[in-house]
Amino acid sequence: MADGMQDDRPLSLDDLTAYFAQGEKPKSAFRVGAEHEKFGFRLSDNSPPAYDGPDGIHALLTGLMRFGWKGVYEGETLIGLERNGANVSLEPGGQFELSGAPLETMHDICQETGGHLEEVRTVADELGLGFLGLGFHPTITREQAPVMPKGRYVIMRNYMPKVGGLGLDMMFRTCTVQANLDFATEADMVRKFRTSLALQPIATALFANSPFTEGKPNGFLSARANVWTDTDADRTGMLDFVFEEGFGFEAYARYALNVPMYFVKRGDTYIDVAGQRFGDFIDGKLDAVPGERASMKDWADHTTTIFPEVRLKTYLEMRGADGGPWSRLCALPALWTGILYDDAALEAAWDLCKGWSREERVALRNDTPRLGLKATVGGRTSQDVAKELVAIAKQGLKNRNRLDGGFIDETTYLGELEAIADSGITPAERLLEKYHGPWNGDVTRVFEEDAY
């Protein structure tokens, strides 16, 4: 059944499973997509910009159109931009996101990211705005976060407090950097999913960059990662079933089918069905859309409302890292590409974590937000695992041998991660050193020293 099409036959489990299977592609067609979010702030007082107003997010989006971006609208409301397979989108609290196009090399990704940041800076300078890469907003309260005019966020904002204590913080006060990678077959997906899910907390530690909340240290190295431990247990976490025998597309479809819905989208309108079952929608039993049965487009929309540490769509999303500076925006896709796109590297990475028990995986996930590279798993420190993991990724990138015009391979983008792993000191701990040292307890210095 084609996307958006409906017939008299309700969707079957085979239909739902086939949605994920359609992501299979030959290795020669593998691409990498990079995403990152960043906090906007007014240069005058570090406050976050609203959507409207002369220095607002709408003005920023409009200003970027001079670079060939086309508007994406919800009704008459400008909610994003698109150009050549890439998108700029609004997060709930005005965080500004680039979802990059699927690209072949890390050189392409870093060029795309750098070009985007230059465009944003050009317009932001005119508006008196700056941008900051951290995992959690360092100063504002929930109440001070602006609210973006996007239909699905209204539904999420109302639902989040019913299912967790920190979901609103996730929406309004966090930023991440992600990488999206392909798979060749179901078996290839399973290997990549298991390996990247088990090792996601190691990436969280390497990128930990959110030690401040409302102007003070918060007791975490990654407050962003901690937020996800109390957002909505139905749609987050380490997905134990991924490691069970027989895992594949169908098992993930069954999982997604049991995740409560947020919305049904019809045209530009989001209809609130939060907490209801997708299975009832398949059977035409949702009161909000009487008599309608779910389509494949509805299923695709539903899969975007699931937030585990690694997410399956028609590709795999790595979701474990805090936002950060330009150098680490390029490092995250480099890390996972080196691990997942070279067969020997993938096998070596799986060897690192295949012996971990469920309890060890969960403990590592829970300890990492506080301890970073000092957490332990399988009798080793996360630092030891991280050093080996970065070395595996480096060899994987060497084996890919994708050179830029200067005959430099993709390993150049791992340099900062190597330094972090070798030192055992996370970016968050470097920020805390400044806070307790030259910043004299003034968190606002981060807006001067760590802005793009």
- Please tell me the distance from the alpha carbon of residue 230 to that of residue 166, in angstroms, as a whole number: 5
Question: Is residue 2 scored above 70 in pLDDT?
Answer: no
Residue type, 228: W
Q: What is the pLDDT of residue 3?
A: 44
Q: What is the pLDDT of residue 406?
A: 76
- The encoded tokens of residue 202 equal 């190691």
Please, which pLDDT band fits residue 60 given cuts at 50, 70 and 90?
very high
Q: What is the pLDDT of residue 154?
A: 97
Q: What is the pLDDT of residue 7?
A: 54
Task: Give the H or E element holding residue 3.
Answer: none
| DSSP structure string for 299-319 | HHHHHTT-EESEEESSSEEEE
Q: Can you tell me the mean pLDDT for 346-372?
A: 98
Please, which pLDDT band fits residue 6 given cuts at 50, 70 and 90?
very low
Q: Can you tell me the mean pLDDT for 105-131?
A: 98
Beta strand pairing status for 236-237 and 307-308? Answer: parallel
Tell me the C-alpha to C-alpha distance, in Å, between residue 443 and each of 150, 205, 371.
31, 21, 21
Tell me the C-alpha to C-alpha distance, in Å, between residue 445 and each of 45, 218, 283.
12, 17, 55
**Is the pTM value of this prediction over 0.85?**
yes
CA atoms within 13 A on the CB side of 203: 32
Q: How many CB atoms lie within 10 A of CB 223?
A: 29
Per-residue pLDDT of 136-175, as tens digits, reads 999 999 999 999 999 999 999 999 999 999 999 999 999 9
CATH of span 13-449: 3.30.590.20
Question: Is residue 205 scored above 50 in pLDDT?
Answer: yes
Q: What is the pLDDT of residue 9?
A: 87
Q: List the domain boundaries for the chain.
A: 13-449
DSSP character for 88? E
Residue type, 318: M
Its sign, for the CA torsion 242, 250, 307, 231, is negative
Q: Which of 11-15, 249-253, 403-407 has the lowest average pLDDT? A: 403-407
Beta strand pairing status for 263-266 and 269-272? Answer: antiparallel
Q: Which of 248-257, 303-312, 402-411 has the lowest average pLDDT? A: 402-411
Helix (H, G, I), strand (E, B) or coil at 134: coil
